[in-house]
């Protein structure tokens, strides 16, 4: 089969690596891809939001399956464009990707179908939001309704901060039109767990659990980022938690979407908080997590193409999703200064240390090829160094050892990815 992957980050590199393992994949393209993806796929210079050009490419190159990794094109309706042209594509249609594209939509869905989540109110009028805050309990959480590169969530400790947050989101439009509507919700405490799942419209099968570290600095300090590292599985995702989530969260969400006429096919990412009152949904995403995919996919035993085709064809009930009985840790190597400002174009040395080394992966997030064939940094998050191990502790030791194999100017990483493991 000829496969086209849409996206350019570490997640898409992890997807490409899984696809490359399939005996069915004869040729892999990635649009636009990056330098690392270019080592296993042919990168095509078409942007992820150029739907018609991507569809032209898929038609012209007789692509058998297109896999969309990123949120923006999914929310923007890329799947609808491909389907209208009779092209086979993995991912939710626009009317289902709204599960991620609008937080107000997802909160209302959860309320209507009794899916556990934080108490909330939606607002389109800043004055009403400000008035609501006067009587609300602090801390409180403000969320821009739309996509905001994972940055549209503000946790406010005081009324003053919260009022300033409403100003930023709804009046100053810090996140653009994503802030035309806003969710204000109860602050929850507990352990966060990410559970990714494959969905065929009816059946939902979960992948191994994971946990992300979103803050830039050690000890969960500093600004929110796209994610500084992950581990899988999460020791906090117990059998008991899983039983609860299967019954009250996963299947009910898929059924709710179908009942609303928004049949979901693709990946649902359940962002969960395990609170004292049980698991609750923090957020939904309509795609693999980044960098969750970098620890989950290397542990998946199935042929990813079989699973994705089953999602498209509605036959996921016939797939036995299996994961290795081990662990993986991913440490993101970033450019110092991320997520605010940072330099690019630095030479990356040591990548060949990963060649032919079982259980070690160097996923590229922001890299490009220089004119002389050297690999250069090209983003805030540069690489995701992933290692497996028999246990989480072993995987963590392996991953941190492997971060030493790579060198570039202004290399920055967190040193406590997976520290929560020690408390489990
Ligand atoms: P989200 O993009 O909705 O996942 O939010 C980003 C991060 O903000 C989450 O990973 C949580 O750490 C935090 N967060 C979001 N909503 C809440 C909440 N209701 N209570 C506590 N923390 C939250
Ligand atoms: N790692 C969180 C996300 O992909 O949204």
Nearest CA to 28 out of 228, 20, 315 is that of 20
- What pLDDT score does 376 carry? 97
Percent of the chain with pLDDT over 70: 100
- Ligand 2 centroid from CA 284, angstroms: 10
In angstroms, the Cα distances linking 388 to 78, 138, 301, 398 are 34, 41, 14, 7
Nearest CA to 171 out of 144, 193, 192 is that of 144
Rounded average pLDDT over 10-35: 97
Model confidence over 160-219: pLDDT tens digits? 999 999 999 998 899 989 989 999 999 999 999 999 999 999 999 999 999 999 999 999
Q: Which band of pLDDT confidence, cut at 50, 70 and 90, is reported for residue 224? A: confident
Protein residue whose Cα sits closest to atom 4 of ligand 2: 289
- What pLDDT score does 73 carry? 98
The best mutation among 72, 101, 227 to test binding of ligand 2, ranked by most ligand atoms within 8 Å of the C-beta, falls on 227
At 278, is the secondary structure helix, strand, or coil? strand
Q: Which of the ligands is closest to the CA of residue 227?
A: 2
Which tokens in the block code for residue 396? 């963590």
Percent of the chain with pLDDT over 90: 93
- What pLDDT score does 421 carry? 80
Using a 6 Å cutoff on CB, does residue 201 contact ligand 2?
Answer: no
Model confidence over 67-83: pLDDT tens digits? 999 999 999 999 999 99
Protein residue whose Cα sits closest to atom 5 of ligand 2: 289
Using a 6 Å cutoff on CB, does residue 283 contact ligand 2?
Answer: no
Atom of ligand 2 nearest to the CA of 291: 1
- Ligand 2 centroid from CA 40, angstroms: 24
Q: Output the pTM of the full model.
A: 0.96
Q: Which band of pLDDT confidence, cut at 50, 70 and 90, is reported for residue 420? A: confident
Q: Which band of pLDDT confidence, cut at 50, 70 and 90, is reported for residue 148? A: confident
- Ligand 2 centroid from CA 71, angstroms: 10
Using a 6 Å cutoff on CB, does residue 292 contact ligand 2?
Answer: yes
- Ligand 2 centroid from CA 131, angstroms: 32
Using a 6 Å cutoff on CB, does residue 227 contact ligand 2?
Answer: yes
d(CA 173, CA 45): 31
Residue 230, Ramachandran bin (φ over 0: left; ψ between -120 and 50: alpha; else beta): beta
- What pLDDT score does 15 carry? 98
Q: For residue 150, is pLDDT > 80?
A: no
SS3 string, 82-116, reads HHHCCCCEECCCHHHHHHHHCHHHHHHHHHHCCCC
- Ligand 1 centroid from CA 120, angstroms: 13
Using a 6 Å cutoff on CB, does residue 69 contact ligand 2?
Answer: no
At 331, is the secondary structure helix, strand, or coil? strand
Give yes or no for a contact between 417 and 392, defined as CB atoms under 8 angstroms apart: no
Q: Which residues line ligand 1 (CB under 6 A)?
A: 118, 141, 150, 153, 155, 185-188, 192, 214, 271, 282-283
Atom of ligand 1 nearest to the CA of 186: 19
Q: What does the mean pLDDT of the chain come to?
A: 96
Using a 6 Å cutoff on CB, does residue 212 contact ligand 2?
Answer: yes
Atom of ligand 2 nearest to the CA of 227: 1
In angstroms, the Cα distances linking 260 to 62, 76, 96, 146, 271 are 34, 19, 10, 20, 21
Q: Which of the ligands is closest to the CA of residue 284?
A: 1
At 69, is the secondary structure helix, strand, or coil? coil
Protein residue whose Cα sits closest to atom 3 of ligand 2: 289
* Residue 99: exposure state from Cβ atoms within 10 A (0-12, 13-18, ≥19): buried
- What pLDDT score does 417 carry? 96
């Amino acid at each position: 089969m000829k496969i086209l992957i849409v996206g350019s980050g570490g997640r898409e590199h992890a997807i490409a690596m899984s696809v490359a393992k399939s005996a069915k994949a004869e040729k892999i393209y990635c649009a636009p891809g990056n330098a690392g993806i270019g080592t296993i796929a042919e990168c095509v210079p078409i942007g992820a939001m150029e739907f018609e050009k991507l569809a032209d490419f898929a038609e012209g190159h007789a692509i058998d399956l297109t896999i969309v990794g990123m949120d923006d094109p999914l929310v923007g309706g890329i799947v609808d464009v491909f389907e209208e042209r009779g092209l086979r594509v993995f991912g939710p249609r626009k009317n289902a990707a709204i599960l991620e594209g609008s937080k107000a939509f997802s909160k209302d869905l959860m309320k209507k179908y009794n899916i556990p989540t934080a108490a909330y109110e939606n607002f389109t009028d800043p004055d009403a939001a400000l008035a609501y805050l006067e009587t609300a309990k602090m801390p409180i959480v403000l969320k821009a309704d739309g996509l905001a590169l994972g940055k549209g969530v503000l946790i406010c400790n005081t009324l003053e901060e919260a009022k300033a947050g409403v100003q930023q989101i709804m009046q100053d439009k810090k996140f653009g039109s994503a802030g035309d509507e806003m969710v204000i919700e109860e602050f929850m405490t507990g352990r966060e767990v990410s559970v990714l799942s494959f969905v065929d419209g009816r059946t939902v099968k979960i992948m191994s659990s994971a946990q992300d570290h979103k803050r830039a600095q050690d000890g969960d300090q500093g600004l929110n980022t796209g994610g500084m590292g992950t581990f899988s599985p999460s020791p906090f995702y117990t059998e008991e938690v899983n039983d609860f989530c299967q019954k009250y969260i996963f299947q009910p969400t898929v059924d709710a979407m179908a009942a609303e006429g928004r049949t979901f096919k693709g990946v649902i990412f359940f962002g969960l908080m395990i609170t004292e009152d049980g698991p609750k949904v923090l957020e939904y995403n309509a795609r693999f997590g980044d960098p969750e995919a970098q620890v989950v996919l290397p542990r998946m035993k199935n042929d990813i193409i079989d699973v994705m085709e089953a999602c498209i064809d509605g036959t996921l009930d016939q797939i036995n999703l299996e994961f290795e009985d081990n662990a993986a840790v991913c440490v993101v190597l970033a450019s110092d200064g991320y997520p605010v400002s940072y330099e690019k174009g630095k030479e990356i040395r040591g990548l060949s240390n990963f060649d032919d080394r079982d259980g070690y992966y160097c996923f590229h997030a922001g890299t490009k090829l220089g004119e002389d064939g050297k690999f250069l940094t090209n983003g805030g998050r540069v690489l995701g160094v992933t290692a497996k191990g028999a246990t989480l502790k072993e995987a963590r030791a392996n991953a941190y050892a492997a971060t030493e194999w790579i060198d570039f100017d202004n290399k920055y990483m967190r040193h406590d990815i997976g520290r929560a493991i020690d408390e489990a």
